[in-house]
Structure 1
Amino acid sequence: MNPIIGLIGLGAMGGGMARSLRRAGYALRVFDVRADVAQAFAQDGGTACATLAELGAQCDIVISVVVNAAQTESVLFGSGEVAGCAAAMKPGSVFVMCSTVDPNWSAALEQRLAGLGLLYIDAPISGGAAKAASGDMTMMTSGKPEAYDRCEAVLNAMAAKVYKLGDRAGAGSKVKIINQLLAGVHIAAAAEAMALGLREGVDAAALYEVITHSAGNSWMFENRMAHVLAADYTPLSAVDIFVKDLGLVLDLARASKFPLPLSSTAHQMFMQASTAGFAKEDDSAVIKIFPGIELPQAPKAAE
């Protein structure tokens, strides 16, 4: 019999992952702090749970798609008078953690859940909202073989690539941290290049066309500078995500006194953008820290 799946967090990534699971035919329970979002999702299939404990009690596999370690702790173990899902989960159930977190924290969580009789997969994700919705995202996973035995098919239903990176938690999070190093540095470099072009009076659309067909291109330039050209800073991934993620990158390297000069500079750029008031805007808004440039404006609506 197919397992009953619970998914917590119906944001840009989690909502797409839930739809992928629904398409694959899994019995699905969902929870989001925005109850109306969970109810709206369930209208097309699945069940919205009123509490985390209710979801945990009903599911064989619980997938958490929240922002960070603190939110994951709250999901599992509760906050204040609100109970988490861990105490309600049946022994032998699997908790799949999809956030970008400190790898050492993830390894410790595996041990903590083992003490409750629960299995754990360290499974941060990448690819963006569109790939999550189509089931084409990437998962960087690590965990015990018995955990994979119970949920491998479920992981494959959500992602085109499920990388198994070790038999204990932490390895998946280390690889995700390194991915975020590159992603953050690439966005910062893309913004710097576009800003210089604007400062020098180069037509922004022409610059974008040339770079995206030249050796200097990157996926992040092509994706994020399109947001700048459209003057659309709707947060698919916010500035503060990279304040957090590049902070994790630097914390990991600091523990072994490993120098990361480019990561450090990119982190400062995102922090500058955050404190300038762009924290919740799309991460491409890091370009707004550059002085003396005129950014593309959104086209005016026809009267």
Structure 2
Amino acid sequence: RPPARFARQTKTRNPGGRRAACRFCVHMHAILFCLALRSAEPVGFIGLGIMGQGMARRLASSGQPLHVWTRGATAASALASEHPGAVTVAESPAAVVEACSRTYLMLSTPDACEEVYSMRGGVLEGVSDGKALIDCATLRPEDMAALAERVHERGGSFVEAPVSGSKAPAANGALIFMCAGDEETFRSAEAELAAMGKFTVFCGTTVGAASKMKLVVNLVMGTQLAALAEGLALASALGLSSEDVQAVLDGGAMASPMVALKGPMMAKREYPTAFPLKHALKDMRFALNLAEASDLPVSASATGLFAAADAAVPSLGDADFCAVMEAARAAAATGSVR
């Protein structure tokens, strides 16, 4: 607070002085923020698909300089245009890893991961001592462990960090991260994970543990959605109001964010993609493989419903996973029993 005499002089001799001072402060704040961006250590991000775009935007919006690469140039260019000077589009995955001490990856399938890690100019070419990878894909535990081993062989550190959440939570910074691997790398990334998610669970230092957690979560989620699809299909066949069914579910013990969001879409047969059905089917099959390897009697009926939806209409694989409703409707119409 300035001395009273100075304040009186400012008020008397220069009525616009305070406004000018405020404008000056705002201007200086902007300059300091830009300097901080330029001096902050960049972080890498590889894979700007449905999930990766939202995650990278959260990092960039938090003031984190980024080096990015994705197989489609459009998404990377759009991100760089939104954050001029803060996002650098790299020519290859290796260039991203070489430029950053930590690099996040969000790739869709085991095949996509293998390609991006192993291709010419791929991720592994950029790994050296002191480089850290944080892989957010949903893979089999053994896939993650194999990737970690290859990174370790080149002197890097590795954390698996699959997420619970789809397109909207990624865009809103509301993901849940399940992490395992190098604990020092995990701790160094906590601020970035907080910018992208609402909380994080560290599952230990053994790579694969977080993937197991993610597959269990997605098996529960898929089974719940398949049950909802079958219930809504049965309600329709019985002539019941889908709105009334939804109201009862939302008001009772079955209430959940997923039921509230997906139920109305399924009743209308509208499936805008937040989590592709083909990826949900992949995850549920991975989970069943874990159950079989552990000699656990886990029902495959929900996975079968997803498989039926994926096989019935090829385009449904790219639709949201609530398109499993189409398989439930078909089963109800034909009276087929899985």
* TM-score in terms of structure 2 length: 0.81
Measured against aligned partners, the alpha-carbon deviations of 1:108-142 in whole angstroms (never above 9, x if no partner) come to 32222111011101100112222111212100001
**1: distance between equivalents of 2:178 and 2:264?**
27
Corresponding residue to 1:65 among 106, 117, 120: 106
Q: Is the 8 A contact 2:53 2:75 kept in 1?
A: no
Q: How does 1:86-235 map onto structure 2 within 5 Å?
A: 86-235=124-273
Greater Cα shift, 187-196 or 229-238: 229-238
**2: distance between equivalents of 1:170 and 1:2?**
32
Q: How many residues align?
A: 289
**1: distance between equivalents of 2:330 and 2:309?**
12
**1: distance between equivalents of 2:146 and 2:69?**
25
Corresponding residue to 2:330 among 284, 291, 302: 291
RMSD: 1.7
**2: distance between equivalents of 1:250 and 1:150?**
34
Q: Is the 8 A contact 1:95 1:120 kept in 2?
A: yes
**2: distance between equivalents of 1:66 and 1:95?**
13
1:2, distance to aligned residue in structure 2 (A): 4.0
**1: distance between equivalents of 2:142 and 2:94?**
26
* Unmatched tracts of structure 1, length 5 or more: 295-303
Measured against aligned partners, the alpha-carbon deviations of 1:192-223 in whole angstroms (never above 9, x if no partner) come to 11111111111222221221112233333222
**1: distance between equivalents of 2:233 and 2:115?**
40
The DSSP-based 3-state class of the residue aligned with 1:212 is: helix
Measured against aligned partners, the alpha-carbon deviations of 1:222-264 in whole angstroms (never above 9, x if no partner) come to 2211222343212211221122011100111111221101xx1
* Unmatched tracts of structure 2, length 5 or more: 1-38, 334-338
CA gap 1:292/1:160 in 2 versus in 1, 3 angstroms: closer
Corresponding residue to 2:121 among 74, 78, 83: 83
The DSSP-based 3-state class of the residue aligned with 2:82 is: coil
Aligned to 1:297: none
Percent of aligned positions that are identical: 29
Q: How does 1:223-262 map onto structure 2 within 5 Å?
A: 223-261=261-299
Measured against aligned partners, the alpha-carbon deviations of 1:38-67 in whole angstroms (never above 9, x if no partner) come to 101110111222322222221211111111
1:34 aligns with 2:72: yes
Q: Structure 2: which amino acid aligns with 1:204? A: S
Q: Larger helix proportion, structure 1 or 2? A: 2
Measured against aligned partners, the alpha-carbon deviations of 1:6-65 in whole angstroms (never above 9, x if no partner) come to 111112211111011112211101112110111011101112223222222212111111
**2: distance between equivalents of 1:16 and 1:83?**
25
Aligned to 2:308: 272
* TM-score in terms of structure 1 length: 0.90
